[in-house]
């Protein structure tokens, strides 16, 4: 109860816990919303052949074609004002592009396809494109579970770790030596206070994402709450472990960043960890954040049952128990 009162008496803490994650969803949701067709900026060296085929390129709404002198085309490509430029010379075409630039290869293939069709190429296979815009298939649906996992990690570790180190700096922990309170009771009380904060925070985040961006929840709400509770517990335990001997805010801050940095980059918050080499997947799956995000995504976007996520739940439980046991062993009331 003391920890709860201390939290709600700090308006800045309430902001970072409850409103900052919503601002993250708003910013990233707007950044990765369903946008109109992205424009491909292409320049062509001015010539009669280019002017003749410019109508064929203009028929594609993605293409923004500009006819310029060759020197100007080269300058615009060098300064990033165009994705590529091309030169039509009779029946041949030369493309000038930077293959390391994300849009250059796309621009080259798109323009080449249109030019070949205009020249009379006949494709024997009929192709139909379907644009996915249904809930559950968008990037925002993939992103929200990752943000929830990241919020649980940050809230659990920073909230618990900083609280303990702050009490150690202010010499408050020494006063507990004169009380009958056990270390286990104190540590469990700190963890429980974080759980009280984290559950409504994550539910608020999910509800906001649903009404603001149409993120659908296909799984059971009780299963989601259970996974959130277990995730908050494991990261609170890790936060206890990191802060069990730290004596300054600088030291605990460094340790927190050291522990969280691999999970920020590897565990699939913003993109799937399967983009990394397959040989490191088993290691990534054992990181505390990975099973949490995988379980949340499976339940929220696929409608998976809690029982089907037993491997992820087992890993999270092991991290929670192991970290709390080590924190209890290493924790000291005094320096």
List the pLDDT tens digit at each of the 335 positions of the chain.
776 676 566 565 556 556 666 676 666 666 555 555 567 888 888 888 777 777 777 777 778 888 888 888 888 887 777 888 888 776 778 888 877 776 777 788 887 887 777 777 776 665 555 444 555 556 778 888 888 888 888 877 777 777 787 778 777 777 877 788 787 888 888 778 777 777 777 788 888 888 887 788 888 889 998 998 898 888 888 888 888 777 777 777 778 878 888 888 888 888 788 878 888 889 989 999 999 999 998 898 888 888 889 999 999 999 989 988 888 888 776 65
Tell me 101's DSSP state: S
Confidence (pTM): 0.66
Domains of the chain with CATH codes: 40-118 (3.40.190.10), 135-330 (no CATH)
Do 237 and 191 touch, CB atoms closer than 8 A? yes
Reduced to 3 states (helix: H, G, I; strand: E, B; else coil), residue 43 is: strand
């Amino acid at each position: 109860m003391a920890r709860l009162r201390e939290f709600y008496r700090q308006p800045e803490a309430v902001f970072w816990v409850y409103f900052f994650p919503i601002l993250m969803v708003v910013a990233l949701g707007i950044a990765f919303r369903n946008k109109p067709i992205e424009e491909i900026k292409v320049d062509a060296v001015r010539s009669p052949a280019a002017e003749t085929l410019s109508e064929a390129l203009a028929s594609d709404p993605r293409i923004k074609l500009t006819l310029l002198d060759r020197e100007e085309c080269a300058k615009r490509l060098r300064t990033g004002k165009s994705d590529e430029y091309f030169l039509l010379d009779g029946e041949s075409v030369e493309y000038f592009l930077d293959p390391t630039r994300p849009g250059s290869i796309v621009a080259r293939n798109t323009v080449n396809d249109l030019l070949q069709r205009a020249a009379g190429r006949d494709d024997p296979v009929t192709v139909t494109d379907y644009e996915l815009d249904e809930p559950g298939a968008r990037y925002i649906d993939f992103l929200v579970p990752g943000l929830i996992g990241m919020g649980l990690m940050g809230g659990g570790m920073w909230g618990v770790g900083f609280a303990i180190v702050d009490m150690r700096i202010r010499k408050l922990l020494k006063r507990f030596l004169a009380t009958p309170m056990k270390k286990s009771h104190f540590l469990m009380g700190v963890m429980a206070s974080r759980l009280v904060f984290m559950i409504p925070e994550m539910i608020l985040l999910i509800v906001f994402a649903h009404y603001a961006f149409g993120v659908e929840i296909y799984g059971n709400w009780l299963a989601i709450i259970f996974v959130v509770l277990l995730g908050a517990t494991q990261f609170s335990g890790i936060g206890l472990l990191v802060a069990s001997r730290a004596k300054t805010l600088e030291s605990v801050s460094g340790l927190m960043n050291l522990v969280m940095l691999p999970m920020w980059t590897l565990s699939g918050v913003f993109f799937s960890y399967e983009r990394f080499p397959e040989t490191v997947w088993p290691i990534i799956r054992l990181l505390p954040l990975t099973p949490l995000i995988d379980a949340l995504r499976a339940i929220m976007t696929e409608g998976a049952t809690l029982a089907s996520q037993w491997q992820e739940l087992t890993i999270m439980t092991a991290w929670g128990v192991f970290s709390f046991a080590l924190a209890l062993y290493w924790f000291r009331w005094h320096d």
